[in-house]
Each structure stands twice: as C-alpha cells, then as structure tokens.
Amino acid sequence: MITPVRRVTVACVLSATLAALAGCGTDQAPRPARPAPSAPSAVPSRPPTLAPGPAGLTPVFENGPRTHGRTVALTFDADMTAGQGRRAAAGERFDNPRLIAALRALKVPATVFITGRWAEQYPAQARSIGRDPLFEVANHSYSHYAFTDDCYGLPTVPEDAMRADVERAYAAFREAGVPDPMPYFRFPGGCHDRRALRALTPAGVTAVQWDVVSGDAFATDADAVARQVLEGVRPGSVVVMHCTTSAAPTTERAVRTIVPELRRRGFRFVKVSELIGAAGDRR
C-alpha cells in the first residue's frame, strides 16, 4: 500500500474528525530543535525493523501478514503539541491514565506512540509505560506538527528539521527515563510523502501507519467506536486509537468492549514489533 508519492491514507475516511484532532493547539511554532545527540543511541536500533523502501527511503508499515495467525495490534497516539503547555497547565488532560489502567487490567499488549511534548508534560506516566513489559513506546514526533504541507491544517516541520524533530522526541523520552523506546515513527495525522520519507531515512526508523481507523477522536459514543474497530479488524491489523482524555474521551470504554470480543473471536493482541517481525520474516 506504500507509494513514493503523497497519498491520502485510510484516515481520510474520518478526515473531518482527524482534522479537528490534528489542529489542536497550533498557537505556537515548534521550539528550535536541540542539536542531535552525537551518541549512536540518539535513535534506537532495536530490531525488528523493515528494510529500507524503494530508493532507500524510510520503510512504511501498515499491517502484518494476513496469514500469520489471528493477531492484532492496538496502537495509541499520545498527542500533544509544543503549543499546548498552557492548556495542560490549566487542567486540560492530554493523558489518559484510566485507559492505561484498563489495558493493564485486561492484560493487553499495546504500542503507544508518544510525542516528545507529551513525555515532557507527563514524564512519570511516560516512564511507567516504557518500563512496563506489556507496552512499547514509539515516536510520534516532538511537536506533532505535519511532515507534509497539506495535513489537516497543521503547521509544518521544515524538511531540514524533520530528522531533528524525531530525534528531539527520543531525547525527551530519555530525559523522562523511558528505557529502550522502539525505532518506530508515526507521522502526525498519518501524512507523509516521498520528501518526508527521504528526510527520515538517516534516522533509521520504520514509519508505522494503520489499516483500521477507530474513530475515537472526539467521539461521544463508545459503542460506535467499538463497532467500527470490530468491523474493520482482520488478521495482522494495526488499529489506531488515542491516549488523550480531552480529545478521545470514550477510548477506555470502547477498549473494554473491543478486547473481550476480539478474544472471543480468537484474536491475540500483540505489539507492533511482533507484526513487523512477522512481516520481515516473510520478505
């Protein structure tokens, strides 16, 4: 499903909703990126990752093999832009501890894509998620600003600052005490093009998209979110959801419906790393 030209992902099904979510907190430009760390650990090299794509571009992963068992990966985007600190200080919740508690109670492995700004705002939560073997932490950029020019109204990261924005998020994870974040990156809004893939190639990450949109962004009906996920999941699916109470208030309740039903259908929950490993084994 990956092409070298700009394309609209499956998220276009709910573009209006995603646009509202993506456009939150665009009142402040990203702070200047810190110099990239010189140590080789600036971006982790933990396998598994996919081999580079055509012309050596950053590889993009959307789902695992359809014939590799009934596995499904729930992924959660912890969104927060560089300009939302004041809103968080005023009490707006960009975290969702009840969701994380539900995943733990249900014993569901999951991959959480965290922005660097979220890790700075909630370092104890980022550290707790990162140290829990049930979860893996991946990169959702530092600023949650767009890597293309036409991404749901988000301000854009200049091409020459894209790699630095990703590396700055990894630096924020280290400062928060997150051990071994994964070498996976999710583009804000899912928006990417050949230019962005080329800019991130030296970072050594695999870009992770999805094939099932949950529709949890600003949803008020948890049952509708659950239905959308249950109708869309196939073996090897990657489901995109959110870990942001103010922007996705029904996610925890939806998860409590989704998990037992998929287990009843014979699905096994895995982290993205397992799906990528299975995909790599078959290439």
Summarize the confidence of residues 143-153 as an average pLDDT.
94
pLDDT > 90 fraction of the chain, expressed in percent and rounded = 79
- Kindly list the structural domains of the chain, giving each domain's residue range(s) and its CATH number in brackets, ordered by start: 10-23+56-281 (3.20.20.370)
| 182-219 per-position pLDDT tens digit | 999 999 999 999 999 999 999 999 999 999 999 999 99
Give residue 215's identity as a one-letter amino acid code: G
Q: Which residue has the higher pLDDT, 25 or 170?
A: 170
Q: What are the residues whose beta carbons fall under 8 Å from the beta carbon of 156, sequence distance 6 or more? A: 145, 146, 147, 148, 149
CB-side neighbour CA atoms (13 Å) of 36: 15
Residue 18 has pLDDT above 50, yes or no: no
Residue 282, pLDDT score = 61
Strands (E), the chain: 60-61, 71-78, 110-114, 135-139, 184-185, 206-208, 212-213, 237-242, 268-269
Residue 83, pLDDT score = 85
Say what the pTM is: 0.85
- What per-residue string of b and e applies to 47-80 under the rule 16 or more CB within 10 Å gives b? ebbbeebeeebbbbbbbbeeebebbbbbbbbbbb
Summarize the confidence of residues 220-233 as an average pLDDT.
98
Strands 237-242, 212-213: pairing is parallel
CA angle 4, 190, 144 (to 5 degrees): 125
Summarize the confidence of residues 3-32 as an average pLDDT.
40
What are the structure tokens assigned to 6, written together? 């700009």
Residue 36 has pLDDT above 50, yes or no: no
Range with the poorest average pLDDT among 1-15, 120-134, 182-196, 253-267: 1-15
Range with the poorest average pLDDT among 8-17, 96-105, 108-117: 8-17
Residue 180, pLDDT score = 95
Summarize the confidence of residues 167-186 as an average pLDDT.
98
Residue 242, pLDDT score = 98
The closest of 80, 146, 88, 85 to 112, measured between CA atoms, is 80
User: What's the gap between Cα 8 and its chain centre?
Assistant: 17
**Whether the Cβ atoms of residue 216 and residue 245 lie closer than 8 Å to each other:** no
